[in-house]
Amino acid sequence: MGLLTELRDSISRVVDRMFSDAEPRRIGIYGPPNAGKTTLANRIARDWTGDAVGPESHIPHETRRARRKENVEIERNGKKVTIDIVDTPGVTTKVDYKEFLDHDMEKDDAVRRSREATEGVAEAMHWLREDVDGVVYVLDSTEDPFTQVNTMLIGIIESQDLPVLIFANKTDLEESNVQRISNAFPQHETVPLSALEGNNMDEVYDKIAEYFG
């Protein structure tokens, strides 16, 4: 029995080293503008590293270049998973500079921001097709999920055969309707949360470890 126990422990140590030395999995955070992607990225990064990924804003397209936080180690139920968080620009079919004028932005700044946001959409699509190992898809649970962008992106993710979790964000708001998101994409698991308030983050981390570990 002693020899068998030593053999089992030796194998266990080898397996642990194999997984600990594995490359972190690149997890892209995708979704439409203002769904709370950067707020979620910052929540995860701060909870596990103490650092933030990028600035947050109520103005659309605050994130116009993909930002990456490497080697975020999440431990759940005795299991560790190491991921690189890729916070991507919000994807939309059209970026109109006029929407930024409603936020007291000068026209030149609005035009520049719209151009950068358009370039950011192209960059996000490149990451999706070439450089991510899994996707966290963030939706604003107060908004209708049945949009061309959401349908297109979920379809691309599925065609890439990438593991995907759908996060129904902003559950702290009265208008939140998580079931509507679940009904829109029943083929994927939907996890409710409020990235801003930190609500239900335990389940978020459990699912990240389960899907991407």
Give the pLDDT band (50/70/90) at residue 4.
low
Rounded percentage of the chain residues whose pLDDT exceeds 90: 48
pLDDT tens digits, one per residue of 34-63 = 899 999 999 999 999 998 886 666 655 556
Of 62, 68, 25, nearest to 49 (Cα)?
A: 68
Going from N- to C-terminal start, the domains of the chain cover: 25-210
pLDDT at 6: 55
* pLDDT surpasses 50 at 17: no
Is pTM beyond 0.85? Reply is: no
Homologous superfamily of domain range 25-210: P-loop containing nucleotide triphosphate hydrolases (3.40.50.300)
Rounded Cα gap, residues 207 and 188, in angstroms:
12
Q: What is the dihedral of CA 123, 129, 132, 136, to 10 degrees?
A: 80
pLDDT at 80: 85
Rounded Cα gap, residues 48 and 83, in angstroms:
11
Give the pLDDT band (50/70/90) at residue 20.
very low
pLDDT tens digits, one per residue of 109-137 = 777 767 776 676 667 776 677 778 999 99
